[in-house]
Amino acid sequence: MQRCPMTPAGYATLEAELKHLKEVIRPEVVRQIEEARAHGDLSENAEYDAAKDRQGMTEARLRHVETQLATAEVIDVATLDESDLVVFGSTVELLDGETDEELTYRLVGKEEADVKNGDISFDSPIGRAILGKREGEEVKVKAPRGTRKLEILEVRYT
């Protein structure tokens, strides 16, 4: 089975989600199904159908989270020696060559990616372009809006 790189925070988030699914959501869905059954004829019971659909989605998400945790390879960048090398988990300051805009991204696993918070997947176009590069290097990134030139200004292992 392929390992799934993940930060310690990402692993903890998935553990919390799994606990919530098992201890809160699953019992709630079971209660909703029981309540809907009490209303009688199941063939025309929209509440029952909705509760069964929610149960299916909950169980699917639960299995997905369990698989992610089972295949997780937790990488804590804080335990690595500081360097100017871009690695999984590092935070990178970039300069967009066209707009002179400074961008800050942290390379994380696919499950943790949240661009709004500056967390991008190491497997995204920008992530692939900067991974293994050093401060001062320029990279070209093929993006939907064309090729972007980015300069790596700083690498932090926080």
For the entire predicted model, the pTM comes to 0.82
| 24 secondary structure, DSSP code | I
Mean pLDDT check: name the lowest of 6-15, 76-85, 128-137, 147-156.
Answer: 76-85
The C-alpha atoms of residue 139 and residue 6 are separated, in whole angstroms, by: 24
Per-residue model confidence as pLDDT tens digits over 21-45: 999 999 999 999 998 888 777 677 7
- Copy the structure tokens of residue 70: 């089972």
The C-alpha atoms of residue 46 and residue 133 are separated, in whole angstroms, by: 55
pLDDT value for 40: 74
Q: What does the mean pLDDT of the chain come to?
A: 93
Per-residue model confidence as pLDDT tens digits over 74-125: 999 989 888 999 999 999 999 999 899 999 999 999 989 999 999 999 999 9
**Domain layout of the chain by residue ranges:** 4-74, 79-156
79-156 carries CATH number 3.60.21.10 = no
Top CATH class of 4-74 equals mainly alpha
| 134 secondary structure, DSSP code | B
The burial of 62, by beta-carbon neighbours within 10 Å (0-12 exposed, 13-18 middle, 19 or more buried), is given as: middle
